[in-house]
Amino acid sequence: MKKTALFAAAAAAALSLNLAAQGPGWPPSPDHLTLPIWPGAAPGEPANMPPEADTTTAKDNLVAGRPVIRLGNISQPTITVYKPQGKNTGATVMVFPGGGYQILAIDLEGTEVCDWLNSAGITCVLLKYRVPGTGPYPKSNAALEDAQRAIGLVREHAAEWGIDPNRIGVLGFSAGGHLAAAISNHYEHRLYEPVDGADKLSCRPDFSVVVYPGYLALAEQDFAANPDIAPTANTPPTFILQAEDDPVHVENAVVYFMQLKNAKVPAELHVYAQGGHGYGLRRTDLPITGWPKLVETWLRTIKVLPAQ
């Protein structure tokens, strides 16, 4: 048996034992492939971390009348692969849930997103990255390390998973939107010591979708652009969406769009009057919640998806 196969089998067994021990946390359904992204402990991760768990309480707000799984204490990051059941276009999107780098809204901005992507013939790879206190980069490297490593792993498994290694994008919400922007601009050098062959492959996304992001414009500096996110002509094509009444500030979207424009990066910006923050894909009577169709149209425009 090849070393990669042995590693995958051992990793899957270890992950299964870990998930069983976690109890009230969020285990992916067994019909989806889940792999740890690090063969051992993640870089710099301390030992004896508290167990992963859903941190939602009765006081937490509902979204579109439904609760949200707020997954916390994540010290063992994973990727879970959701394959389309019907037509497979070969395109792949890695999803970064949000949560202020403190928790992950793992259903609202994770599994529910994968269901939509699968319906469009897109493979979804859900990244469960480390939290809390793992960003934004460079305050912490951890979440960005996880994203860099995860994209390399997906490219390494592209043929096995039936995906095109040149059509792998990222989609992030809130803090995950910042992470999508960060990986789109910090891909030339790994932030960790290389582990294996996956780290020799590019971790640059081929496209990026940034939804109600934070940390891209500095409110304490009159919404100046975040100097740690500096687009160049090689930053991938980007779709950005945010509401004007977002308490996290619409300037995050607008300022980042202008950075992309000035760097001559193909970018599309949608700003709605109302919508607030943290709605995911859950439909309400507000027009902004129809945004997934806009993304599908954009993906056809940039030729990631075939024309209808």
pLDDT per position as a tens digit, 130-145: 999 999 999 999 999 9
Strands 238-243 and 70-72, by their bridges, are: unpaired
CA distances for 120 relative to 48, 239, 268, angstroms: 41, 17, 20
pLDDT range class, residue 2, cuts 50, 70, 90: very low
Whether the per-residue pLDDT at 3 is higher than 60: the answer is no
Closest CA to 259 of 156, 153, 184: 184
Question: Looking at per-residue confidence, does 307 or 204 come out higher?
Answer: 204
Token pair recorded at residue 272: 């709605």
Percentage with pLDDT > 70 across the chain:
92
Residue 6: its pLDDT value, please? 43
Residue ranges per structural domain of the chain: 3-301
Exposed, middle or buried by CB within 10 Å (0-12, 13-18, 19+), for 194?
Answer: exposed
The residue type of 133 is G
Whether the per-residue pLDDT at 26 is higher than 80: the answer is no
Whether the per-residue pLDDT at 16 is higher than 90: the answer is no
| Cβ contact 277:289 at 8 Å | no
pLDDT range class, residue 241, cuts 50, 70, 90: very high
pTM for this predicted structure: 0.91
Mean pLDDT of the chain: 92
pLDDT range class, residue 27, cuts 50, 70, 90: confident
Alpha-helical segments (H) within 57-208: 112-119, 142-156, 158-161, 175-185
222-236: pLDDT as tens digits: 999 999 999 999 999
Q: Which of 23-27, 35-39, 163-167, 268-272 has the lowest mean pLDDT?
A: 23-27
Residue 163: its pLDDT value, please? 96
Domain 3-301 = CATH 3.40.50.300? no
Whether the per-residue pLDDT at 29 is higher than 60: the answer is yes
Mean pLDDT over 199-223 rounds to: 97
| Cβ contact 235:260 at 8 Å | yes
Q: Provide the 3-class DSSP secondary structure of residue 299.
A: helix
Whether the per-residue pLDDT at 54 is higher than 60: the answer is yes
Dihedral Cα 280, 163, 129, 201, nearest 10 deg: -140
Query: Residue 6 — φ and ψ, nearest 5°?
Result: -60, -45
**47: which DSSP letter?**
S
Cα gap 237→265, rounded to integer Å = 6
pLDDT range class, residue 47, cuts 50, 70, 90: confident
Mean pLDDT over 235-243 rounds to: 98
Token pair recorded at residue 131: 């939290």
Whether the upstream peptide bond of residue 237 has omega within 30° of 0, thus cis, is no
* 63 C-beta neighbours (distance < 10 Å), count: 18
Q: Provide the 3-class DSSP secondary structure of residue 240.
A: strand
Question: Looking at per-residue confidence, does 48 or 160 come out higher?
Answer: 160
| Cβ contact 103:95 at 8 Å | no
Strands 208-211 and 238-243, by their bridges, are: parallel
Q: What residues pair up with 272 in beta bridges, in sequence order?
A: 243
Whether the upstream peptide bond of residue 231 has omega within 30° of 0, thus cis, is no
